[in-house]
Amino acid sequence: MANLLRSQWAVHGPVSCAQDTYASCCGSVRDKRHQRQQRLQLRREADKVLDSFVAKAKAKPISIRLLFSRKLISTKAMLVEKGDQNHFESNIVGNPPGVLETMAVKFEQTCNIVLTELVIKILDAFYSERHYARFYVLETIARVPYFAFVSVLHMYESFGWWRRSDYLKVHFAESWNELHHLLIMESLGGDERWIDRFLAQHIAVFYYFMIAFMYAVSPRMAYHFSECVEKHAYSTYDMFIKLQGEELKKLPAPEVAVKYYTQGDLYLFDEFQTDRIPCSRRPKIDNLYDVFINIRDDEAEHCKTMKACQTHGSLLSPHRDRESMQDGTTKGCSLSSAECAGILDCVKKAISSPVHRA
């Protein structure tokens, strides 16, 4: 920089040198400001697309799989917004929420939104221009909630408080999907720097215990927090695709992505997509653009599943045998239907109903 200033001074004189330097700095600032505004605009557009996408799924009266259930369970998700006071948790259709429940939901979701925005600001500060490193950190963190969910559910099983295999299967399939997102980012060099691995892994450890505690106290709150994280992941990938789409089409797809999306047994790939019929989605992977399109679509499916989970007892595996559900029988091993919403509810049911502990 000093040599450049001296050369401009010698050729153009001090006044011209200062003017050129000032113009160059202003141009650089304007370019950066324009890039930031463009990223923010794309993020807002992605959020609007995802909101409308999820709203359509939420507005569906009943999922195809639930038509065969013996109980009519509400499938509306728990999302309290301005002017949207009717979408509260209810085990059976027609059971309105109380005032305390309404306040609790608002408090939980406010806390979740604040925490999510804090995480986004940290990622923006460290990874505004390093996309693959940002995706690596994001995928390392994104798979942790499913570990926490399964851990708490296994603890409930040990005490006889929980006998719902659908949640265990779906959450494991979600963690398996996020694992392959992580492997794809590693193959693209997202974990090259030691500091990125250190930051992602230590945040993940803290995040695990936070979500496990949150899930034990309020599964609804934990599921909503995960929905917020998945929503951010969707908008991040969507913005990246819009900015880098043409370049991505020129690059080959990583081998790990081709194997996961197109080869082998795709049972787990279908399992985490609870709003779809199995085998209804079979991605095409020709280049890196297709890979990121499918990762983005995966995040949308996670978002819908987390939204459905906020209605207690409504989650069903896509592979649940429909004929068995229709006639009220199950094939193979039969489990009792013990379930509870949080550890306090589990303890309460265990004390009040000895049968629940069996």
Domains of the chain in sequence order: 99-310 (1.20.1260.140)
Q: What mean pLDDT is reported for the chain?
A: 75
Distance CA 308, CA 171 (A): 13
- In the chain, which ranges are continuous DSSP H helix? 2-59, 99-126, 131-142, 144-158, 165-187, 194-217, 219-248, 255-262, 267-271, 288-309, 322-327, 343-352
CA distances in angstroms from 146 to 15, 211, 222, 242, 270, listed in the order given:
62, 9, 10, 29, 16
pLDDT tens figures, 288-321: 999 999 999 999 999 999 998 888 777 888 887 6
Distance CA 57, CA 299 (A): 14
Question: Tell me, what's the pLDDT at 8?
Answer: 52
Question: Tell me, what's the pLDDT at 160?
Answer: 78
Q: Under DSSP, is residue 92 helix (H, G, I), strand (E, B) or coil?
A: strand
Considering the chain, what percentage of its residues have pLDDT values greater than 90?
A: 40
Model-wide pTM > 0.75:
no
Distance CA 224, CA 214 (A): 11
Does residue 170 surpass a pLDDT of 60? yes
pLDDT tens figures, 103-152: 888 888 898 899 889 888 888 888 878 899 999 999 999 899 999 999 99
